[in-house]
Structure 1
Amino acid sequence: MSTYYFVGIKGTGMAALARLLHDQGHTVLGSDIEKETFTQGPLLAAGIEILPFDPANLASGMIVVQGNAFGDDRPEIVRAHEMGLTVQSYPDTVEQQVQAYTSVGVAGAHGKTSTTGLLSHVFAGLQPTNYLIGDGVGKGTADAKNFIFEADEYRDHFLAYHPDYAVMTNVEFDHPDFFKDLDDVVASFTTYGQQVKKGVVAWGEDASLRSMELAVPVYYYGTQANDDFQAQNIQRTTTGSEFDAYYHDEFLGHFIIHLYGEHSVLNSLAVIAIAYLEHQDMTAVASELATFSGVKRRFSESVYGDVVVIDDYAHHPSEINATIDAARQKYPDREIVVVFQPHTYSRLQAYLAGFGEALRKADLTFVTPIFGSIREQAGNISSQDLIDLVPGAKSIDGDSLAQLNAIDKPVIIFMGAGDIEKYEDQFVATLK
């Protein structure tokens, strides 16, 4: 067994990987900022030590895992090289797990965390499985046969991976601070697909995914006649969704999920496809799907009297559409209120019209100040530009959250990828 030192151990991916390696019997510790994060508690509960950043933390024999947010000029990284320690990136460390097991990497502009969580839950219920989920959850298991992981396209991190299977939920232009346009994104996904060993499971209604030419078989899933894996007879109710699944003309079974939104049916179908390709029993798969309740910050619900509060990571127009669709399914007779925090100036600038169109599907929209990124300068755009596109929309911040208390029996969705939770926590405190 080895000793791993994580530089930036509180990051969601890093924390998940640290927990996985710890479960496998390795000694794991790391450094990060002192501000508390949602990943901190589980790390400490596992007995993983978290230290302040300091090159003096390093010791001989350590394997240093360099977080994606930290450059080679970071003092701990500089010191690690001076000491002759092995320094490897987060993706390179994940790739070691990829090569050790039957592996499935889940990629996509949207839905990869939810799909990774669902796939991990199902396979862990079928046989020993290791997994890394983008909500900070990682699990290692003795005698594992599979490794399920989230493959993030940002800055081409997923090109470090060569899994047995890839799930591709969709391709859209995102991360405008890195990719030039949609063609640039498609090129990266194509390269990733060319590194897959056994097969790719891809959403059939995505024209970009349909256009990819890969060496391995591509199995399309969806609701159309030309899809290999199809969901038919879909029923969506206030308790979830159910559907029949087919592989071509082969009936695979009737599946019930306690999840909401059209995207949840598609995510479940992708999981069924991977399970089928790995010759899993479909009755057992159906049982596991029925017990999945979701992942962190993806339609996470809390109820306070007559007020429903939903926490969601949505920060792209497609994700906002999916989340509002899910809320409409579960709460068809309630007012759907969105509190949206734009994430980065570049993203708001790139998708301004799309954000406006998506947010108009809510009954009432509030927009917070923009969550800026350390990677970019403030642009010539503000939250007001978005508010102007949504009839009835209003601005909101920590000093004006009382606006929400005046709404009768609302379903309030706090959306964003920045620090939207600070507004949510402040509002919830008034409800308690």
Structure 2
Amino acid sequence: MTTYHFIGIKGTGMSALAQILRDSGEKVQGSDVDKRFFTQDALEAKNIPILPFSKNNITDDLTIIAGNAFSDEHPEIQEAKRRGLVFYRYHEFLGEWLKQYTSIAITGAHGKTSTTGLLAHVLDSNYPISYLIGDGTGRGHVDSNYFVFEACEYRRHFLSYEPDYAIMTNIDFDHPDYFSSINDVFDAFQSMADNVKKGIIACGDDEKLQQIQAKVPVVYYGFLPTNDFQAQNVKETDEGTQFDVFVRNTYYETFTIPMYGNHHVLNALSVIAICQYEGLQAEEIKAISTFQGVKRRFTEKQIGNQIIIDDYAHHRREITATIESARKKYPNKSVVAVFQPHTFTRTKTFLQEFADSLEAADSVYLCDIFGSAREDGGQLTIYDLQKLIDDSSILQLENVQELSQFDDSVIIFMGAGDIQKFQKAYEESLATKKLKNA
């Protein structure tokens, strides 16, 4: 029996895939840098060995799955190729693995992870399934009916998949280090649509998605009356958000989700649409009301009168949506945004858009840009963004305690880099202050 060796096993997708293979009865191990990541807990809980990078890890009995973050020059990849081992990149292996199931790909510029988590939760409440979520969560089952997975458009990796169904949440310009324009992004999604075998569930409120040409049926969802699945009568309640669903203008059912914000209603609509299309009853789909969320998506805790939120938002639309969620859930609290831009390319391309979206907060703190090793920041600094936002401040580890002045507030730490270190430092400063006052 072969052993699957994951090069870069602590990556979110890699970690999830490793868990799926282990759950499905395969032998799994992996290697990575000697630094702790949040994905490690789940790997360790499943007793998956994690080795430090070394070419000596590579032996003749292995099948190699390499993370997309690592170049062909990586010592383990070079050794694997020298030995002539069976070798896959992450997206190549995933494309092969999902062929044994009814596969549902969730793709879009925003909302992929939350929607994948929500769909996995509803289906898992009714059937044995396998799922791969972009927050590092993966689960396999030998009797899986469905394989639900997040499909990323970056570098067109999602073209390695030929899913039965695809949920498309939106098309937006992101990853400017790879895509040249919104039209280039659209072209990638059009190619993805051509790969889908049974049906597409697409957000009809998104103008670009309306232009997709498909060889399979397309079911549209959204707030507009032209959609096949439409949300009406949206209300915020103590339990979350309640809304009525109409299917082709006929009342279907009323649903409640434990989240706030229109983007969450849209994500839920896509899940309701695919489940209804696949024959689930409304009562079965109502498992949607017990969804606990995914990692790093509006993950909240309360310390004193402050609500501290950790969120992966790193694009202008995600920032707007996260601030909207906080306002709707906590209408009587002020909102403080702590934002760390992710990559110089994205920051430079969307500088004004970031400023505009952050203006929706009552107070704004900015952390240094989280740059990628593969790009040169040039002259760009966080001060270029600060200039565009009135009364914004720079947050560094040394002055995190400044946030304690916002007593009855929601403080949102947003970013895809290492923003969590600022949150951790702030929480430690509060704990130290509490000890001193005890």
Per the TM superposition, whether the score is higher than 0.5 is yes
User: Structure 1 residues 321-330 or 238-247, which shifts more?
Assistant: 238-247
Q: Aligned residue for 1:415?
A: 414
Give matches, 1:12-91, under 5 Å.
12-91=12-91
What percent identity do the matched residue pairs reach?
47
CA distance in 2, matches of 1:21, 1:69: 20
CA contact (8 A) 1:253 1:283 kept: no
Deviation at 1:75, TM superposition (A): 1.4
User: Structure 1 residues 290-299 or 379-388, which shifts more?
Assistant: 379-388
CA contact (8 A) 1:342 1:348 kept: yes
Give matches, 1:260-409, under 5 Å.
260-286=260-286, 288-409=287-408
Q: Aligned residue for 2:189?
A: 189
User: Structure 1 residues 348-357 or 237-246, which shifts more?
Assistant: 237-246
1:230 is paired with a residue of what secondary structure?
Answer: strand
Q: Aligned residue for 1:425?
A: 424
CA distance in 2, matches of 1:35, 1:242: 42
2:426 is paired with a residue of what secondary structure?
Answer: helix
CA distance in 1, matches of 2:56, 2:7: 13
CA distance in 2, matches of 1:348, 1:132: 29
Deviation at 1:237, TM superposition (A): 3.2
CA distance in 1, matches of 2:282, 2:129: 18
CA distance in 1, matches of 2:58, 2:370: 34
CA distance in 2, matches of 1:207, 1:30: 42
Deviation at 1:82, TM superposition (A): 1.9
Q: Aligned residue for 2:251?
A: 251
Structure 2: give runs of 5+ residues left out of the alignment. 432-438
CA distance in 1, matches of 2:74, 2:355: 40
Deviation at 1:238, TM superposition (A): 4.4
Q: Aligned residue for 2:9?
A: 9
Q: Which runs of 4+ in 1 moved over 3 A?
A: none
CA contact (8 A) 1:259 1:293 kept: no
CA contact (8 A) 1:327 1:336 kept: yes
How many residues are treated as equivalent by the alignment? 431
CA distance in 2, matches of 1:331, 1:20: 37
CA distance in 1, matches of 2:408, 2:333: 7
CA distance in 1, matches of 2:379, 2:359: 23
Deviation at 1:62, TM superposition (A): 1.2
Deviation at 1:251, TM superposition (A): 2.9
2:125 is paired with a residue of what secondary structure?
Answer: helix
CA distance in 1, matches of 2:306, 2:159: 43
CA distance in 2, matches of 1:134, 1:149: 8
Give matches, 1:155-174, under 5 Å.
155-174=155-174
Q: Aligned residue for 1:201?
A: 201
Tell me the alpha carbon deviations over residues 132-159 of structure 1, each in whole angstroms, 9 at most, x when there is no partner: 0000000001200100000000111101
Tell me the alpha carbon deviations over residues 384-405 of structure 1, each in whole angstroms, 9 at most, x when there is no partner: 1211222211111111112101
Q: Aligned residue for 1:239?
A: 239
CA contact (8 A) 2:311 2:413 kept: yes
Q: Aligned residue for 1:113?
A: 113
1:400 is paired with a residue of what secondary structure?
Answer: helix
Deviation at 1:61, TM superposition (A): 2.5
Deviation at 1:239, TM superposition (A): 3.1
1:106 is paired with a residue of what secondary structure?
Answer: strand
Matched AA of 2:70? F
Matched AA of 2:408? K
2:397 is paired with a residue of what secondary structure?
Answer: coil
Could you state the TM-score of these two structures normalised by the residue count of structure 2? 0.97
CA contact (8 A) 2:341 2:347 kept: yes
Deviation at 1:111, TM superposition (A): 0.4
CA distance in 2, matches of 1:376, 1:402: 32
Structure 1: give runs of 5+ residues left out of the alignment. none
CA distance in 2, matches of 1:431, 1:281: 48
Measured on the aligned residues, the alpha-carbon RMSD in Å equals 1.0
Matched AA of 2:184? D
1:414 is paired with a residue of what secondary structure?
Answer: strand
CA distance in 2, matches of 1:178, 1:296: 26
